[in-house]
Structure 1
Amino acid sequence: MTRSPSASLSVSARDGDEQAVRRLLQEDAAAHEPYLQQALRDASERGHLAVVETLLSAGVHADAAGDDARTALHVAARRGREAVVRCLLAAHAETEARTTQSGATPLLAACIGGSVAVVELLIRHGADVLAKNRWHWTALHLAAKEGHDALVGHLLETQHIEIDARHQVNRSPRSLSLQFVWLMDAEQAGATALHVASWFGHSRVVQLLVDAGANVHVAPENGLAPFQLACQAGHRQAALALMRAGADVNAVGSDGNSALHHACWTGQDEIVELLVEGGAELNYRNRDGSSPLHVACRFGHTAIVRQLIDARASVEIANSSGHTPLLIACYYRHPAIALLLLEAAADHSVTMTMPDMAMTQVTPLHLAAIGNHIDVVRLLLRLGADRDARQQDGITPLHHACRNGALATVKLLIEEGADVHATSANGCTCLHMAAMSEHLEIVELLLAGGCDVNALIDDDETPLHCACYTGNVAVIRMLLRAGGSIQPIAKTKLTPLHCVALHGRVDAGRLLLDLGASANVKSEGGETPLHFAVDRGHVDFVKLLLDAGAKPNETTDDGWTPLMFACQRGQAKIVELLRAAGARADMSSEERNTPLHAACCSGLLDVAQFLVAAGLDVDAALADGTVPLHGACYGGHLHVVEFLLGVSKKSIDGKAKDGYTPLLIALERGHKDVAVALLDAGAQMCDVESLQHIVASACESGDANAVQHVMDKSIVAADVVDALDVRRLLHLACESGSLPLVQLLLSKGLDVNGVFGEGIWA
């Protein structure tokens, strides 16, 4: 296969095939001319001196730059190609050329590569040893970052080198790299080469810099000193070198943390040992009052916790929120650490607040039960922790264990005498918790312990109700066998069957019906289980209830039938089931709502046709004055609109109590096809007063789309639109703060000066 000129030259240059490069240039120099500069950079990067010399002799400019303004000298210096660098410099390559993105010079690139010979060569040819990239990184910074100790030593011997020069930094809130100092805000003071070497753990570079007099105490604004960086990153040798140079082990960074805090945060066992031996203050509290032990407990560093305890760090010190290390360990579910703290005699009676779970007065035993940490629970109980300790809401550790399905913990708490009858402030028992969480074995255990199977939460839910919400048949059957009642609750009159109907639990519903639950029992608002199932769209449960004798025409206290619910929700399949079961179409609610109104709002054409055939009046109005046509127009259901108009046009211009006609509703909702159908059927064009009212309402709410639809001259007569008081509308739009709406109104050619010349208000 024949290669393109670019491919042939590129491959030859990268491979160092000088003869092939020369031959290609001799055969057709013009064809290869566009690719010569890239070939020079490729050859320079790979150190192919002969190819570089050939390309330069062919007239390729030594400073020809590619992407990011990178020259051949940049890439050769970066790769440490001394001979190529020498050749390019002889061809007068620019030593101060800078890349676009980082602003690097060839010397800075060479410092990344680490070649002392190349760096020395560039300096001899005038390269600025004090040059900085766009982040103020110097040659010394870059060499220190890469750990090039020989190069660092060479640079330190160079006259005028700035050993404590700072680069600019850009702060970034990223876990471990939070103190990655060259990612901090470029407007802030930066870090020195010693910071860089310390962070990366280049201990020999650190020693060179320290020996040369680098400041071991300096810290960037909003940053850390070199010693703190080395400790956070876990570089023991670098930290040790800095300690020997006088670094303060108890110095506090701008974030309020000591080096020991940082080592505990990142889990640096060896650093913690070094700091403890070096006299670090064990109980120093940072800005939120946390000690190093708090930090180690928070992040689960068990070995460090053991080190700190052995060093006599306080296990009782509380942070600003009043939380001790034990509470922190339990909250973040570190059971091994909790055991260590308890063995060190940490107070187990302390409490905490958990805002994320809206819980207060939470003890370590509560937390251990939540996490199912049975060893911690056992030790807490052995040490005398209150087994029935109550949160502010009355919840006990046993409640938590039951809710979380912690069977072993439940057994242990009960064996140790925990009260199985304990109730929360709202009456919730442990049995409620276990039932709603579907933990069969725990339910059985609690029932055996004598828990009240018919206890009430807020006077309206028994454990059986809770189980019915989830539909766990085994739990429901066990509660029923224990005497759980299927009868209505006195307060809400809700039955377990209502609960399973609400969530469509068919198997559970069948069980309740088989045991005699009434399919027609009513709740406090008059809803039957059928109302609940229809409202949620549970088709199979509706079938179950109808087969069990549920009455399809039962009404709620405000007159709603299951058929109305089905039509309102757009449940076509359920409508068919109800029709087959004898649901009446001629019933209406207190607001005079009928199934037809609901069907038209939901766009159920076949249902609407059935209901009209059954004798329902398409012009019957609700209490608010709306007829089925209003509802169909609101939803944009064109086929329903056309059907209704085909039956009767009596209400085509009918106004609801708010003044809306079907046409105005269609326009405001943006249903252009419906609006056209209404006009074609003889609907009267909107008058100026009505249109002004509608547009003003939309302007007040900042609804630009509604205004656009209503002022559409392709539908609404142009003379009506032109007669609108746009001046007033613009005031309302400005008041709403909607820029798109203001722009829309201004596009109508309004004179802004004329509008606002007399003041803000029209």
Structure 2
Amino acid sequence: AIIGGEEPTQFMANVLKDKSFNPHVNNDFAYHQAVEFDRADVVKVLLDDEFKRTDPLVDNCFALREAARNGNAEIMRLILADKHKRADLDAKLTEALMDACKNGHVEIAEILLKDGRADPQAKGSESLRVAIERGHTAIVKLLLDDKRANPQGEIGDSLLSVAVAKNSYEIVSLLVNDPRVDPTLTGNSPYLLAIESKNSSDIAQLLLANPTVAFRVALDKGDIVKAKELLQQANPRADQHYAFYKIIKMGHADLLQDLLKNKRLDPGVNYYKALKIAVEMGKEDIVKILLQDKRADPTENECALLRNAVSMNRTDIVELFLRDGRTSPQVSNSLVLRYACANSHIHMVRLLLEDPRGYPQEAYNKSLQFAVNMGRADVVKLLLEAGRADPSANNSESLRIAAKKGHEEIVKLLLEDKRAEPQAESSEALREASANGHAGIVKLLLNDQRADPSAKASEALRMAAKKGYRM
């Protein structure tokens, strides 16, 4: 009756009253045929079956998907309104929405969105993507009017770029004017794509009319005058706060100050990252501005930025950190002082030592060992002044290291400090100097008269003789 085009509804209604009748015969052939031939009246009769024998989800929701693909709005309404609610339709409704968007069926898409169970964000906003790719402007507008839609797309995958690639002026206009869309995401790719295309000059101009895009272009061109003009209109959070970090890298202090006053800059700014960039690039004025803003916390990662500045010998920046008060050179067991004593310029060591907060005695002693190990006589002298470091610490380990490594000038400095004990560990300093052929150090130690050349059965003499050292 359905295939032949005859009126089947009364016939089927009568047949369905018989409880023994099976409407599922031949894999729900009647139901499938009714949907395929757009017979909403037959679908209604089958769904209204008092014995609930027809399930709208039968055969993997064939009817639902077919109605979406073919644009059968009335059948779609019947399935959604099915009073029995036989199964959870949510996942299949989302697939049906994608089918409707793919095939340009505006009414079906509208029905599904109003129902509320189909998810327009599913699979990375696939419904919106496929509508953009196929140029279905009306559906794109419909989806954008839904608050649940995500017109931005995933990070690194801009839907606006898809529209630009399709050269769809109307859809680009809809997207670029949507406040949820960041037109500069993924490295300003929509604009760059437009200017590269010979056929998209009008789209490029459309994008450039957007203040956020224009601000980004001005920054990338180094046009600071234009950037200042657009600063208050542009979205400072665009493309993961690109403008914020770009201005810091460029070193434009006045533009940065203006940007920091913009209330839309937060949330999400990584001020620590900003400070790190400024420190690495040696932008003293930028570091100063960020520290004054107070939203930047220089104490993160145990004051790692102070250590970075010290390692790069950024004296002016280190001074800023120390004056800030929040940054302490004592964190991590005064690691920053130890590092400076081993690797940094003498003026950096002096700067750290002058910090009024001071250091634990152990920090001075460890720093002395680091300096000795690296042969830093200038630093050793500085640490010994005013009795900061104790050369006798850990059984005069610093003297023993210096003697072994042949740092003669350092040995002399240490011996001048009467706290040093060259006799420690059975005159190990003398034995190591002798074993390694450091004649000048052996002479210094013997002249000191505290080291014992007879220690350990005159090992110093035996080692020198064994290796043929003439001392």
Scaled by the length of structure 1, the TM-score of the pair is 0.32
Select the structure with the greater relative contact order (CA < 8 A; seq sep ≥ 6). Answer: 2
By percentage of residues, which structure has more helix? Answer: 2
